[in-house]
Amino acid sequence: MVYYNNRLLGQPRIRMLKVTNNSCTVANSFAREIIECFSNYNPSVEDKYPFGPADSEPYIWQDEEKLLTKPIYGTITLYSGGGFVLRLPVDNYDEAAALIKGVKSNRWIDRATRAIIIDFTLFNANVNLFCIARLLLELPASGGVMPSYRFSTYDLMRYFGTFGHVMIVLEGILCGFILCCAELYLNYRRNEVAADRINDVIQNGLTDAPFDDVVETQEVFNNIAAVILFLSWIKVFNYIGVNKTMNQLSATLSRSTKDIGGFAVMFAVFFFAYAQFGYLVFGTQISEYSTFYNAIFALLRTVLGDFNFGALEKTNRILGPIFFITYVFFVFFVLLNMFLAIINDSYVEVKAELARQQEGEGIFDWIRKKLTRRSSETEKIATYNDYKINLMMAGYNENDINAAFDKLNIKYTDRVNDNALIEVGNEIREQTNRKKMIDEEYRSIAVLTRRIDMMDQAIFSVVDKMSKVLDQLNRIEQARVLAKEHENRLRAEALMMEAYRRGELGDISDGEGDEDRSEKHK
């Protein structure tokens, strides 16, 4: 017994997986010094050869068909269902300790060992539950031990006692409504596998209890049942359109689907770019970014506020803060707000449309009408007030009803005959149709107005950009003219200096002086 209440079913098993020597390649520079090399676990390099004392079960490899076990996922890789198995006695501590001491002295676990799996099953009769326990110790090629565990608790004998019989009836009714072949088959398979395995354990005298197939079948059943339950709840959206208020959610989601799809593509580009960046820069130092898969979820947790900025800064004091700040800015502040803006824009449009629509008869209105209906189906509407109440319960607007009665000159105290009822109904329908046409025209005008406004904004933006471009071109032209004038001035000065050096300017100056003197003399 474990903790005085849990019965150990079958012998606990310690399963060991190892790899062969020379399963990896040693560099030529170290080949003379290092003569043994054991790689990480892979089925292609798994060691299946017997070792140790001859004809002893712990030293003979057994496949998963014989052990009735399934491959399991660890932290590092996927491990097969076979291996070298050491079985421990159920209720003899000294014998179990001696067996463990014996395999230790024979080096059952050595450098080639890559995984140690401990399996055992407990049953608690007080709560009628089975607990299938699996402890996994992974020994990577880099050294060390990476422990993990899994405890799966199931009710494998569900149809026990009076309550179990009631469950059979209720589940039968449920399956009759669902008519799901896969669910029915898995339910049958789950119960059959669990019953067969429990019977086998009891018949074997509780010596061996492999529950891998039971756990696998139960988990598949739970997963499919969860998916079916999720889809069943999603179907509720088909029935929420009972009035304007509850119809807004589904209409908003439907209208924004296309925009959200385009936004999702843009978001994925930014998001996966940051995930790849984080994986390459921080993957060797931070476990959250050790793989591209882990980096994706690390960034998703960052959006939810679960992040370790200190580790990013410690890994790279420059790229770490830049990565974090830019990611938060672009993804959190920009992209997520764009997503909210898309939803909000669709919600505003849907709310405006529903406000212009005629209130129709929904499920709640129909139920209310049925509950308040007169007991006699053959009783006719006798007065103005009776007919008005029924029309309002059917979802028609009170103003339309009053307008129809006024148009036909029917007073509040008058009794309404069948012909008048038909005329009132036709008039109300005509008014409703006219309002719908007006609403449709109003909606079309609103859409056109909105498009025109958007076009005006686009044109203003283009004109503004063109003005900026023209201003820039004018500045460039002015700069070019000034540069040309400056160049001409420099060229003229250079020519004058050249002429001065040749003496031409002096002769010209003397000639001009003689001419001035002759003019004065005259």
| Phi, psi torsion values for 411, nearest 5 degrees | -85, 170
* CB-CB neighbours of 18 under 10 Å: 26
| Phi, psi torsion values for 448, nearest 5 degrees | -65, -40
| Phi, psi torsion values for 141, nearest 5 degrees | -65, -25
As a whole number of Å, the CA-based R_g of the chain is: 43
Q: Report how far residue 41's alpha carbon sits from residue 112's, in angstroms, rounded to the nearest whole number.
A: 9
Is 406 annotated as belonging to a binding site?
yes
Q: Helices 363-371 and 384-393, interaxial angle, to 10°?
A: 140
Contacts of 190 (CB under 8 A, 6+ apart): 217, 218, 221
* CB-CB neighbours of 246 under 10 Å: 15
Can you spell out the DSSP letters for 56-125? Answer: -GGGSEE-HHHHT---EE-SSSEE-S-EEEEE--SS-HHHHHHHHHHHHHTTSS-TTEEEEEEEEEEEET
DSSP 8-state code for residue 357: S
Place of tokens 């139960």: 218
Q: Which among 341, 349, 352, 350 has a CA at the least distance from the CA of 259?
A: 341
Place of tokens 């046409």: 437
Residue ranges for the known binding site are 406
Residue ranges for the known binding site for Ca(2+) are 406
